[in-house]
């Protein structure tokens, strides 16, 4: 994570990394989705508040369980949970020892898909699972989201939106702003190309705008990470790793570890799992 990217993430609470995935990686991920279209359901996260501007005719589409899809379709999703290019970003944000918070999922949208109320912990009170601090020359966060775009999104299309800088906000966000009813100019619909990665802090106010593009659909893979000592959502291991985890690489298995600090496997920027240290 270079100095420019650190400045932008610290300033905005999100960062767009262009051309993060190769064309081949995007094609493989899209091919896997296309081959499993029957697995697409409706997103249960349906919350518009009292908004009249976030409404649509139907809910967002959602894929889950990609890590256990039949081979070869599971493989590209298994590879991105510890993408070699993502490791330095997560090391800079969380320190070494971060972990996959819960199973990846895919959000889709077509014309008139509804939005989702804006939400995020901000800084008006400390929330131990989603926060942002800077101290001793380092930034640290609670849960962050890495969103990989599998299709182009132009500003105004809809989909992911944020209020830049809100991870540092000292006052609660009024409901009429969270419902996208007033001061809509402060809400930024992040444009991105297929292959771009967007990192955003769960403390940053974010949500989903209704999808307005008739020619192009949304297709976004969301992978969420937390520091090594934190678990935001429910687990994907219970109580032991399922059999399919044995098929993963050592690096991939390491991020499925439950939250703890002492003597856990850590990843270097080169993507190699290191020996469990006695202290980190």
pLDDT at residue 238 in the model: 56
The DSSP code for 192 is B
Would the CA dihedral through 273, 18, 76, 67 be positive or negative? positive
pLDDT at residue 14 in the model: 98
Q: How many domains, the chain? A: 1
Domain residue limits at 163: 3-274
The answer to whether residue 280 sits within a structural domain is: no
The answer to whether residue 146 sits within a structural domain is: yes
Higher-pLDDT residue of 243, 174 = 174
CB-CB contact of 222 with 105 (8 Å): yes
Q: Is the pLDDT of residue 239 over 70?
A: no
Q: Which pLDDT band holds residue 102 (cuts at 50, 70, 90)?
A: confident
The answer to whether residue 242 sits within a structural domain is: yes
Rounded Cα distance, 141 and 95, in Å: 9
pLDDT at residue 139 in the model: 96
The answer to whether residue 279 sits within a structural domain is: no
In tens, the pLDDT along 21-48 reads 999 999 999 999 999 999 999 999 999 9
Higher-pLDDT residue of 162, 273 = 162
The answer to whether residue 86 sits within a structural domain is: yes
The answer to whether residue 30 sits within a structural domain is: yes
pLDDT at residue 16 in the model: 98
The answer to whether residue 67 sits within a structural domain is: yes
42-64: average pLDDT: 96
The DSSP code for 166 is G
CB atoms within 10 A of CB 37: 10
Rounded Cα distance, 1 and 198, in Å: 13
The answer to whether residue 189 sits within a structural domain is: yes
Least confident of 30-34, 122-126, 188-192, 209-213: 122-126
> 266 pairs with which residues across the strands?
274
- H/E segment holding residue 146: strand 144-149
Write down the residue that tokens 């039949």 correspond to: 70
pLDDT at residue 125 in the model: 87
Q: In the Cβ-directed half-sphere of 171, how many Cα atoms lie within 13 Å?
A: 4
> 108 pairs with which residues across the strands?
61, 219
Rounded Cα distance, 77 and 68, in Å: 9
CATH number at residue 240: 2.60.120.620
CB-CB contact of 161 with 118 (8 Å): yes
Write down the residue that tokens 């994570």 correspond to: 1
């Amino acid at each position: 994570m270079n100095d420019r990217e650190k400045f932008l993430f610290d300033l905005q609470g999100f960062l767009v990394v262009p051309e993060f995935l190769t064309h081949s990686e995007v094609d493989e991920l899209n091919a896997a989705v296309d081959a499993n279209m029957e697995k697409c359901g409706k997103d249960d996260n349906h919350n518009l508040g009292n908004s009249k501007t976030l409404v649509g005719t139907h809910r967002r589409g959602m894929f889950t369980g990609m890590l256990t899809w039949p081979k070869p379709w599971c493989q590209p999703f298994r590879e991105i949970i510890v993408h070699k290019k993502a490791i330095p970003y997560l090391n800079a944000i969380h320190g070494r020892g971060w972990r996959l918070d819960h199973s990846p999922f895919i959000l889709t949208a077509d014309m008139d898909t509804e939005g989702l109320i804006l939400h995020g912990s901000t800084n008006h009170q400390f929330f131990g699972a989603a926060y942002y601090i800077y101290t001793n020359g380092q930034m640290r966060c609670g849960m962050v989201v890495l969103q990989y775009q599998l299709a182009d999104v132009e500003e105004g299309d809809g989909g992911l939106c944020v209020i830049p800088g809100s991870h540092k906000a000292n006052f609660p966000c009024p409901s009429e702003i969270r419902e996208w009813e007033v001061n809509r100019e402060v809400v930024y619909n992040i444009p991105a190309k297929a292959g771009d990665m967007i990192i955003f802090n769960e403390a940053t106010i974010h949500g989903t705008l209704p999808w307005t593009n008739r020619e192009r659909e949304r297709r976004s893979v969301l992978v969420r990470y937390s520091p090594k000592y934190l678990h935001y959502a429910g687990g994907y291991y219970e109580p032991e790793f399922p059999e399919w985890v044995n098929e993963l690489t050592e690096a991939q298995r390491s991020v499925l570890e439950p939250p703890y600090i002492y003597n856990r496997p850590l990843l270097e920027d080169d993507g190699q799992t290191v020996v469990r240290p006695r202290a980190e």
